[in-house]
């Protein structure tokens, strides 16, 4: 699927290793962005394939949820908060690898 402006999105069902392989081929040395929830983030953190995290926190209560930084290999990668932007509907956090 191509987004107006030239960004192309690929949907891969062959697992995170294959998806990352295809993304690297397609990106040709440029940045790769992976979108998803806690499960997707955990898979790529465990592959040691994440340099930055951009997270939008929205104050919505569903009664429960997934912890973002659980189920990680030990030791997991270390990140520091680089930027915090407070919006009217969400707080945007940017973490960078230490």
Q: What is the mean pLDDT of residues 1-19?
A: 81
Decide if pLDDT at 26 tops 90.
no
Residue whose pair of structure tokens reads 């994440």 in the numeric block = 50
21: left (phi over 0), alpha (psi -120 to 50) or beta: alpha
Decide if pLDDT at 46 tops 90.
yes
pLDDT at 40: 92
How do residues 62-85 score in pLDDT, each as one tens digit?
A: 767 778 888 888 877 889 999 999
């Amino acid at each position: 699927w191509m987004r107006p402006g030239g960004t192309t999105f690929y949907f891969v069902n062959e697992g995170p290793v294959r998806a990352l392989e295809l993304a690297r081929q397609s990106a040709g040395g440029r940045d790769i962005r992976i979108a998803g929830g806690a499960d997707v983030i955990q898979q790529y953190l465990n592959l040691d394939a994440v340099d930055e995290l951009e997270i939008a926190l929205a104050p919505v209560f569903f009664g429960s949820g997934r912890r973002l930084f659980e189920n990680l290999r030990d030791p997991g990668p270390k990140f520091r908060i680089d930027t915090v932007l407070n919006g009217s509907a969400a707080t945007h956090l940017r973490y960078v690898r230490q």
